[in-house]
Copies of this chain bind each other. A is one copy, B any other.
Amino acid sequence: MSEKLVIIGGTAAGLSAASKAKRLDPSLEITVFEKSGYISYGSCGLPYFVGGMIESPDDLVSLHVDEMREKRGIPVLIHHEVTHLDSVKKTVTARNLDDGSEAVYPYDKLVIATGASPIRPNIPGIDASGVYFLRNVEDGIRLKTASVPGSTCCIVGGGFIGLEVAEELTNAGLKVHVFEALPRLLPFLPESFSQIVLETLEKNGVTVHLGAKVEAIKEEGGKVTCLVSSTETVACDMVVMSIGVVPNSALAKEAGLKLGIKGAISVDDSMQTSDPAIWACGDCAEARNSITGKPCYIPLGTTANKMGRVAGSSVGGEKATFHGVQGSMVTKVFDCYIAATGLSLAQAREAGYDAAECEIKQRDKASYYPNHRIMNLNFILDTVSGRLLGAQGMGSESAAIRIDTLVAAIDRGMTVSEVNDLDLIYAPPVAPVYDPILIAASQAMKKVRK
């Protein structure tokens, strides 16, 4: 008799798991439950849909429900919310959000890929009409519909997503304010980087409020009128809340599964939870940091896909282990690309390294070649072993892509001296004869203890 595999969540992690498991074991009888009306969408593209660069939400979708069923043999029930998990009876209860009906589904194996939800701060006015979150396609459609050119939007939270939305709403013709509670933007970056991001935003017409803790959203007739922060009160037509996410681990918690950092579901390297019939993957689950070896919670799109594949392999009977998360990330704020991988200085010190940082500014092409730009590059290193622990880069698109070279270097535990020996590509239109990576490495070598 074929085994029943139930998957809760139909985006990156859940569908990666479903597809991989089905390929390995075509006899699996799979059911995927997805709360929203969309599956398999690139949620990282939502800001660009909101801003109008991407026209239809369908463009964000890689596989539709009928394609999942017909091409991959995987039925997905959309608008179905799993409301209860009984890990003893091995059943889930799902509610059809269209008609309110509930049904109980048995499983032999279960994959929890419930993702994460935006943090909803407990402040006055948070429920007013005109307060938006951006997590799924429906959120995106609501926000896009509301984003009328000429209106004013306050964005709460100056992280990657907040800044992407700031760029996109500005491009869409809105007047944008960003409120960041901390004294600078993106504090895992060096201060000079934060300053450049700030200047880039201001140059493009975004007003940034730093050290501004949001205290209330004022409304009239249920409609937002202004945002009150610890420093300023700004009149506005809408508010976008973007202060981070929390893992959707309530079902897991209810079923008694072990939880870890920030309440994310605890898993081993095969994505198996503390219940051997249940796997978890994506933004609802913990992962291991590949540098420190310790559990961490860094919810990102690539990671969700990869964790999903590993869960699917494991469910399908193939041994697979997740290599871990190195915290690689990138974004673009107008013409300023920002990328990072590995540990920040603070994280490295927290992890027990005698860490230092080494920051350089260098042209990204030969000095005499037109249109070169300055790349800011910061290395975090262990001054005892000389090992590279983290890197942050900023500048052109090619400056951001350079961080991938350091992803590989950090993955391999390379020292800054070994990085300095790399035979990187060179031609005047692409790089200077000593690439910024080599300059940073040779400077960082001076910080290694003799």
Contacts and interface: CB of A to CB of B under 8 A. Distances in A.
Contact of A408 (B325, B337, B368, B414): B414
A329 interface: yes
A366 B419 CA distance: 29
Given A366-B44, A405-B404, A426 B59 contact: no
Nearest to A49: B368
A368 B404 contact: no
Interface stretch (A89-97, A115-123, A295-303): A295-303
Interface in A37-80: 42, 44-45, 48, 53-54, 59-60, 62
Nearest to A424: B404
Contacts of A341: 423, 425
Contacts of A317: none
A286 to B, nearest CB: 15
Given A408-B408, A427-B329, A302 B433 contact: yes
Nearest to A410: B423
Contact of A328 (B62, B323, B368, B423): B423
Contacts of A427: 44, 160, 329-332
A144 B364 CA distance: 26
A276 interface: no
Given A53-B369, A341-B423, A411-B423, A428 B42 contact: yes
A437 B330 contact: no
Given A305-B433, A411-B423, A369 B48 contact: yes
B402 A302 contact: no
A45 B426 contact: no
A437 B172 CA distance: 33
Contacts of A349: none
Interface residues of A, number: 67
Contacts of A48: 368-369, 428-429
Question: Which residue of A405, A407, A423 has the most chain B CB atoms within 10 A of its CB atom?
Answer: A423
A425 B330 contact: yes
Question: Which residue of A327, A339, A426 has the most chain B CB atoms within 10 A of its CB atom?
Answer: A426
A367 B58 CA distance: 12
Contacts of A403: 425
A330 B419 CA distance: 19
Interface in A405-450: 405-409, 411-412, 414, 418-419, 421-431, 433-435, 437
Nearest to A305: B433
A412 B329 CA distance: 23
B45 A437 contact: no
Contact of A425 (B62, B339, B369, B409): B339
Contacts of A425: 328-330, 339, 341, 400-401, 403-404, 407
Nearest to A399: B401
A409 B12 CA distance: 27
A302 B426 contact: yes
Contacts of A437: 404
Contacts of A45: 366, 368-369, 428
A407 B339 CA distance: 19
Contact of A42 (B44, B368, B404, B418): B368
A290 interface: yes
28 contacts: A48-B368, A54-B368, A54-B369, A160-B427, A290-B423, A300-B426, A301-B426, A301-B433, A302-B426, A303-B423, A329-B426, A330-B426, A332-B430, A337-B430, A341-B423, A397-B398, A398-B401, A401-B402, A404-B404, A404-B405, A404-B425, A404-B437, A407-B422, A408-B409, A408-B422, A411-B423, A412-B412, A412-B414
Given A48-B368, A302-B426, A411-B423, 7 more contacts: A44-B366, A60-B368, A302-B434, A305-B434, A328-B425, A401-B430, A407-B424
Nearest first, the 4 A-B pairs at minimum CB distance are A323-B421, A326-B423, A330-B425, A408-B408
